[in-house]
Chains A and B, each alone.
Chain A
């Protein structure tokens, strides 16, 4: 199976710290998409970013940034100056044929 691995099960930091969530994926496809989703306690998966495998440029959106390294099959997510509202479970996913393959998720807790 072409897995997505999020090695960090839980992360806990103090507010205003920077935090990076790691994601490593496996694929035999030449073209694919990578995603990050946020899952608050309500359960809904909130879309954060989709990245095409041909686009290796890093992306920044406010306090969020993503580092895509195709050579190491990694797609890491950094939150700068974290806030309590960032507390959630974060999932990395790869889109294969007709489906998303998710990692196990990283539970991020931001303490005031």
Chain B
């Protein structure tokens, strides 16, 4: 059983809209990272939160933002959606000392039309 749950599993939005994706991580995951995976590509790092503060960001514009909550849940918000935002969004929870690094959720498949 994965320790990371993402919702919703699928989502269709219209260009220009805003979307919030959610991730629930198991207790002890003090780090959460978000990745965008376009079709046929490897996941690309969006940002990481550690103890509710952003502590790393990839090459994504400011309209991608996030939050991490004390209960190990987190959100990814994307404003002004563009067609190219269509992708699988993966959340990964982790602890610094885990031997296996990060635990990934099954992702949210976002389609922008």
Q: State the A residues within 8 Å of B (CB).
A: 4, 33, 35, 37, 42-47, 50, 91, 93, 95, 97-105
Contacts and interface: CB of A to CB of B under 8 A. Distances in A.
Given A97-B56, A99-B56, A45 B101 contact: no
Given A95-B101, A99-B58, A45 B43 contact: yes
B106 interface: yes
B62 interface: no
A98 B33 CA distance: 9
Interface string B13-53: 00000000000000000000101000011111100100000
A46 B106 CA distance: 10
A35 B101 contact: yes
- Sort A-B residue pairs by CB-CB distance and give the 8 closest, nearest first: A98-B56, A102-B42, A45-B104, A99-B45, A44-B106, A43-B107, A98-B48, A47-B100
Interface residues of B, number: 26
A79 to B, nearest CB: 19
A65 to B, nearest CB: 18
Interface in B89-113: 90, 92, 99-107, 109
Contact of A104 (B41, B99, B104): B41
Given A33-B101, A104-B42, 13 more contacts: A43-B90, A44-B2, A44-B104, A47-B100, A50-B99, A91-B43, A98-B33, A99-B33, A100-B92, A100-B102, A101-B45, A102-B43, A103-B42
B109 A43 contact: yes
Given A50-B100, A99-B56, A44 B105 contact: yes
Contacts of B41: 104-105
B100 A44 contact: no
B42 A47 contact: no
A45 B100 contact: no
A110 B42 CA distance: 21
A50 B106 contact: no
B77 interface: no
